[in-house]
Amino acid sequence: MLSHYIKVTFRELLKYRTQSIISIIGLAIGFTAFILGGYWLWWETHFDNFHPEADRLYCLTTEGLVKRANGTQADLDQLHINDREELFKLLPEIEASCSFNHLSFTLQQGNEAINLHGMESGQSFFNLFQADFIEGTHKGIVPDGSSVILTKRTAHKLFGTTNCIGKEVVLDNNLRPSVAGVIRDYPDNTDLLFDFLLIRIPQPNHVKRMTTYVRLQKNTNMTNVRNKLTLYKSHAEDKWDREQVKNWKINLLTASEVHLRCHPELTDRIRNIHILALAGIMAFLSALINQLVLFIGQQQRKQQKNRTYLCVGASTTSMVMKGFTELAFPLMIAFLIAFCLIESLYPYYESYTAWNRYGIYENVSRHLSRTSLFSNTLSLAGISILIFLFICYYPIRNLLEHKIRKPALFKQSLIVVQIFIGSLFFIISLGLFRQLHFILSKDKGIDYERVIQVDLGYSTAHQTNLSVLKPEMVNHPYIEGVTYTCGNAPVFTEQGDWYGSFYSHFCFDPNESEPNSYNPVVVADKDFFSFFKLQPISGNWPTAANPYSYIVNETCLQTLGYTNLLERPIYIKGQASQAKVCCVIKDYFYAPMQYPILPLFFTTYDNPTVKDFERPYLIYVRYAKGHKKEVLEHLREITSHIQNDNVNRNKMFTELSDLVDLFNRPEKVIFTIFSILSLVCILISTFGIYSLVSLATEQRRKEIAIRKVNGATFYHILQLFFREYFMLVALGNAFALPVGYLVTKRWLETYANHTTLPAWLFLLVFFFTSGIVLLSIFRQVKRAATTNPAEIIKTE
């Protein structure tokens, strides 16, 4: 019987092949987006949940030291040692604790440099965190730094095997621990990134902070614990009041929350994940509704045939099973296509979703598990079919038994839902497109075309005076100019919450009290400003006559609150210094648009106050159009003698336009995905509406015929239908447009620099959906109205 049902279902799919193909493709694409977005969201929100008793594992974090791109406070996963002692007294609910610090070493193995990242911690680490030993043990190890635990990956990297107990690891000349054990690698969704674990009592860093995790007792009242932390005032030392300790707040975050709240750079990533997951769910739901619409249309056209089945002895249960087959079969085909799509998209998906850390973990990348993705896909496909059939059971039964009391209302509700989803997708897509166009077309205020960034490494800069390379580099017929910046101050940065070579306090009032605010300073070559064609608003560029001069940007001038800073002396301890502001320049965008422009100070490398501790680090070369290859060869030859173990030579030369494209990559990807899903949803909605209108006109053929006999024209009949469906379009848009506005507005607010949503966009969406419905109605009504009324009345 099942094989018979499948044959009948297959014939129905062929009969309505256009709509069936659209429905199945929509289901496949919607399910694919739903799985990829949903799994990514699950992965990001389940970091470090694999540790034993993870539900009681928390990190003590400090809020008030780090900001997100939108200016809100993030958390730092570190705790001042004074606060650690006080909090342990304040919270008797703490059952166990562990503190650790991060370490980084570069090992030389033959001709290969191996970067190892690790942690130093005592035996308490093994009481809180997972450690599956393959070889050796941690028991009995003295925490004096003479022993180290390696991960499986590191053991193979250093020794080619995990059987390396007792072997020496030369971390540096003074630190040569022996291997005491090898543990299994952690999954990629962890914030505990280490290649080795040095068993040593951790010492606080230079600002007296360490990462501290605690495990609370069972049945702890978390409300009471958090209330205590709310009232707690930090005991951190800050004699200069530079870090604003009075504004610090100590938080207790779960291991998974640490990932989301202690990494400000993830804000945009999480935003895009939510958009992708939401779009996938909506597209999938739209396709499911369309599948239900197609099924309803088919069943209502087969009313006489279904009555015949029941009359000749078919049970309601068998008819429901037949209906289930007609619903489930297209779903299975769609899920099979979705598996193929996921398989083909996985390499790109893995690359796009990879989490690349920065700082000492700059070259560490984390990837989503392929095995877990496909196992979850298989599970969700089965669950989706069961849930959908369960929800549809009573509507199918009532439809087959003709018990739906208000079938017109039911069909109209389906139309409204499809219009809602289609309009919502359309308005959000327009918002995404406007912001993407704004990002791509907005003048950055800096000329970065045909400029190559040469990264010679921070450590190399402090060993070699790289400024001497400038004359050698510029000595080439196809090089139009060379400049450089000092310290960790690239021209473009992905981390726009911090920008500059260093921070310093600038006092323009001799009566100002102790300094309590600091501004970033960019130290650059004297030709930096003309090289990048930065535009002065007032004043003049620094000269050799006054090497102590500073330049400020527009934002800095506004932030400081002075109408004019030119030639105003900078005071040090109440005394006027030689340093003055000589120029104000226009703001330029140095980071992605979601970051606000910081108040910046600029000074040249000739400034004696910075020359002693800042070094040229990044060199910028502008090449003549069409001669990039020759210039790159020239640069490689000049820098070939520089030994830099911390910078991959393949990444040493980067074109600035490529960096800008990298900044815009998330927006481009999200817009592309959303546009595809929007197109699919609009097509699905169009065919769903077309199917229901077709069904309505078939069921009202006699009414149309009688109206024609009584003198109604085609346009009168068209107006009758359009008035009815226009109300449905208006109702669907009445819900979709406000929701779309709120979603898009909230998304745009994540950018410090964003476009607007004019009213005409919403009118465009409304007229577009109205046009789709009108075209659907026009064809069906025209076909019904051109039929001979006598033939219709005679057949009824």
Given a cut of 90, whether residue 252 has pLDDT beyond it is yes
Asked which of 142-151, 181-190, 307-316, 477-486 is least confident by mean pLDDT, the reply is 307-316
Residue type, 254: T
The pairing of beta strand 575-585 with beta strand 550-553 = parallel
Using the predicted structure, report yes or no on whether residue 450 has a pLDDT greater than 80: yes
pLDDT of residue 362: 64
State the virtual CA torsion across 348, 354, 359, 363 in degrees, nearest 10: -60
Closest CA to 756 of 445, 437, 440, 496: 437
The percentage of the chain sitting over the pLDDT mark of 70, rounded to a whole number, equals: 84
Q: Which of 294-298, 304-308, 377-381 has the highest mean pLDDT?
A: 377-381
Torsion of CA 537, 538, 541, 545, to 10 degrees: -170
**What percent of the chain stands above pLDDT 90?**
24
pLDDT of residue 258 exceeding 70, the answer is yes
CB 211 within 8 A of CB 100: yes
Which tops the pLDDT comparison, 469 or 642? Answer: 469
- Side chain identity, residue 36: L
Q: What is the pLDDT of residue 402?
A: 59
How far is C-alpha 18 from the chain's CA centre? Answer: 36
- pLDDT of the residue at 253: 93
- Note the pLDDT of residue 793: 60
36-39 contacts at long range (C-beta below 8 A, 24 or more positions apart): 36/276, 36/280, 36/342, 36/345, 36/349, 37/273, 37/275, 37/276, 37/277, 37/278, 37/279, 37/280, 37/281, 38/277, 38/280, 38/281, 38/380, 39/368, 39/372, 39/373, 39/376, 39/377
More confident residue, 617 or 634: 634
Q: What is the pLDDT of residue 407?
A: 60
Residue 403 has pLDDT above 60, yes or no: no
Q: What's the chain's average pLDDT?
A: 82
Please state the rounded mean pLDDT for residues 439-461.
85
pLDDT digits (tens, 9 = 90+) for 652-669: 888 999 988 888 887 888
Q: Count the neighbouring beta carbons within 10 Å of the beta carbon of residue 484.
A: 27
Beta strands in 513-574 (DSSP E): 519-524, 536-539, 550-553, 569-572
Burial class (CB in 10 A: 0-12, 13-18, 19+), 396: buried
pLDDT digits (tens, 9 = 90+) for 489-522: 889 987 777 788 888 888 887 776 555 567 889 9
Rounded to the nearest angstrom, the gap between the alpha carbon of residue 225 and the centroid of all alpha carbons in its chain is: 32
More confident: 185 or 461? 185
Q: Which amino acid is at 48?
A: D
pLDDT at 624 over 90: yes
Following DSSP, what letter does each residue of 170-199 receive, concatenated?
-SBTTB-PEEEEEEPPPPSS-S---SEEEE
The answer on pLDDT for 6 being more than 70 is: no
Residue 326 near residue 295, CB atoms below 8 Å: yes
- The pLDDT assigned to 182 comes to 95
27's CB contacts (< 8 A; 6+ apart) are 284, 287, 288, 291, 330, 331, 334, 335, 338
Domain ranges of the chain: 2-39+267-440+662-795, 54-262, 451-661
Decide if pLDDT at 587 tops 90.
yes
Residue 313 has pLDDT above 60, yes or no: no
Q: For position 517, what pLDDT does the model report? A: 60
pLDDT, tens digit, for every residue of 95-126? 999 999 988 888 877 777 788 889 999 999 99
Lowest mean pLDDT among 14-18, 81-85, 222-226, 674-678: 14-18
One-letter amino acid identity for 662? Answer: L
Q: What is the pTM of this model?
A: 0.76
Which stretch of DSSP H or E encloses residue 482? strand 479-486
- Rounded to an integer, the average pLDDT of 451-464 is 76
Cβ partners under 8 Å of residue 309, min gap 6: 319
Q: Residue 316's pLDDT is what?
A: 59
Strand partners of residue 321: none
Q: Which two tokens stand for residue 685?
A: 């909605």
Residue with tokens 């030994």: 643
pLDDT over 90 (residue 38): no
Higher pLDDT, 188 or 352: 188
pLDDT of residue 300: 65
Q: What are the distances in angstroms from CA 82 to CA 233, 235, 341, 794?
A: 11, 6, 54, 94
What is the Cα 409 distance to its own chain's centre? Answer: 41
Split at pLDDT 50, 70, 90, the class of 148 is very high
Question: Which pLDDT does position 639 carry in this prediction?
Answer: 80
Sign of CA dihedral 642, 646, 647, 649: positive
More confident residue, 285 or 790: 285
